Amino acid sequence: MIEKNEITFERGDLDPSTGAQWVYVPRHVAHGHRLGRVGGLMWGAILYYLSVALFSIAALTGYYPIENFFGVLIHGVLLILTVLILLGFAIRGQATVMFAAVHFAASVALALTGPFTGVVAGGMSFLVMFYLLDSDRANLTFRHRYRSWPGENSAGRAPAQTHNAGEN
């Protein structure tokens, strides 16, 4: 029988090429760990998405000319996705990573409409998406998992006692 305060870790399959393994932890454990909080690169991603939102608003209100309906549609989709991503950062929701992947696809579509800003947005969206998919901090924050390497039997460098985010 598992006690109320006992924490269980669930191990995933081993990666045959690296030997790494995902270890899934409860949400409160992930957010209580120092890597489960929003850090420097995530603040950079938040600033990037804020700038995309402002640029899309400026484009939709006519400050930057949009040549066709496809461009208007893409800017509208980017604005909606950006708001969803920023909300996901605020609540540290798992869908944030999926929204970032769709945002990358929309940024590539914007790049196909011609403006150089679309190429920049596509490149930056790719970098942010890669960070959210592969970094240890983003995986612990949004997916409540961390990588365990061969020879590790514990929770890595996680503290023995955890607390909920915001508690001391």
Residue from 156, 105, 151, 140 nearest 26 by CA: 140
- The strand order across the sheet containing 10-14 reads 10-14, 21-24, 145-148
| Strand (E) or helix (H) holding 86 | helix 69-91
Domain boundaries of the chain, sorted by first residue: 39-138
Q: Are strands 21-24 and 145-148 parallel, antiparallel or unpaired?
A: antiparallel
pLDDT of res. 80: 94
pLDDT in tens, the chain (168 residues): 455 566 777 777 776 776 677 777 877 777 777 777 777 888 999 999 999 899 888 888 877 777 777 778 888 888 999 999 999 888 888 888 899 989 888 888 877 776 676 777 788 888 988 888 888 778 777 777 777 766 655 555 544 444 444 444
Q: Are strands 10-14 and 21-24 parallel, antiparallel or unpaired?
A: antiparallel
Residue from 51, 29, 25, 27 nearest 161 by CA: 29
Tokens of 12: 């995933």
Residue 5 burial (CB count, 10 A): 5
Q: Tell me how far apart the alpha carbons of residues 29 and 26 are, in angstroms, rounded to a whole number.
A: 5
pLDDT of res. 164: 42
pLDDT of res. 81: 92
pLDDT of res. 152: 57
pLDDT of res. 47: 93
Model pTM above 0.75: no
Q: How many residues does the chain have?
A: 168
* CA angle at 57 for the pair 54 and 63, rounded to the nearest 5°: 100
Helices (H), 5-68: 27-32, 40-60
